[in-house]
């Protein structure tokens, strides 16, 4: 974690001129920058209490521009990821075997990635950039950085990870969260009803709500879902979900959600 935070502080601190019209070379998968972090420090890196390690930034100019597109303040970003508060490790909610870490303010999530996953991501980075630039209200995950840490030594493994936005960071408490795939096969939680809480990831067959949206919101929502699905289809991505967080203004509806929903108008969505 210390290596990760040192690397991020170094990478974000090197802010240069930002232009939205990036050159093709910026999206090249080979576009990466290695930096060595010796414990005693160097001309470019501070001294630190960790061991000797190398830090890699993938497509740094692209992610710097993405952070601007997503209106991320560089100082806040660095403070969230590199402040005194430790990152929290989460148990993996999926089957990928990845490790997940959350910042103390819940704003950013860090996910470890396999080499093969990094290759696929870099292959689609230009299309991803063009999509989020074209659709300000995209529901596709916001990615802010792709990095790698390698400890000094011949047999040390590389740890690759991506930094992304946490959808469930909200001014409202999230009382129920759903991972929806539009499928019914195996799409129910394996937890008994009494153990379900606000941190349980529920699935398609667990969804017992009707969401009523204003006509304009409904049309815009469906239009954006269609555009996002078209993008994922073009990139040959088929394993994706729609994440939904539900906040109950009346906490009595938490109990109602376990049976029949009685007051549909009390849902903030």
For residue range 218-258, list pLDDT tens digits in order: 999 999 999 999 999 999 988 889 999 999 887 665 555 55
The least confident of 31-40, 150-159, 241-250 is 150-159
The structure's pTM equals 0.85
Q: How confident is the model at residue 133 (pLDDT cuts 50, 70, 90)?
A: very high
133 contact partners, CB below 8 Å, separation of at least 6: 20, 69
Q: Any idea which of 120-124, 149-153, 212-216 has the lowest mean pLDDT?
A: 149-153
pLDDT of 14 above 80: no
Tokens of 208: 């017992």
pLDDT value of residue 125: 95
Structure tokens at 201: 């990831």
Extract the tokens encoding 9. 């502080």
pLDDT tens column, 110-121: 999 999 999 999
């Amino acid at each position: 974690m210390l290596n990760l935070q040192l690397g991020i502080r170094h990478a974000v601190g090197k802010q240069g001129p930002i232009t939205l019209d990036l050159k093709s070379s910026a999206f090249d998968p080979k576009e990466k920058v290695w930096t060595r972090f010796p414990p005693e420090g160097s001309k470019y890196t501070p001294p630190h209490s960790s061991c000797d390690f190398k830090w890699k930034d993938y497509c740094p100019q692209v992610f710097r521009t993405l952070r601007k597109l997503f209106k991320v303040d560089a100082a806040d970003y660095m403070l969230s990821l590199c402040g005194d508060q430790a990152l929290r490790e989460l148990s993996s909610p999926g089957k990928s075997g990845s490790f997940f870490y959350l910042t103390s303010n819940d704003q950013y999530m860090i996910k470890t990635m396999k080499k093969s996953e990094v290759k696929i991501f870099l292959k689609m980075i230009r299309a991803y950039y063009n999509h989020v630039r074209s659709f300000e209200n995209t529901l596709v995950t916001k990615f802010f950085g792709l990095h790698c840490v390698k400890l000094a030594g011949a047999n040390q493994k590389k740890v690759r990870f991506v930094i992304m936005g946490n959808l469930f960071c909200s001014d409202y408490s999230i009382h129920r969260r759903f991972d929806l795939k539009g499928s019914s096969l195996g799409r129910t939680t394996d937890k008994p009803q009494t153990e379900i809480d606000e941190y349980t990831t529920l699935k398609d067959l667990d969804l017992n709500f009707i969401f009523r949206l204003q006509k304009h919101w409904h049309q815009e929502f469906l239009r954006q879902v269609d555009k996002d699905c078209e993008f994922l289809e073009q990139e040959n991505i088929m394993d994706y979900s729609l994440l939904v967080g539900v906040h109950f203004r009346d906490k009595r509806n938490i109990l109602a959600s376990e049976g029949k929903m009685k007051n549909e108008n009390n849902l903030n969505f």
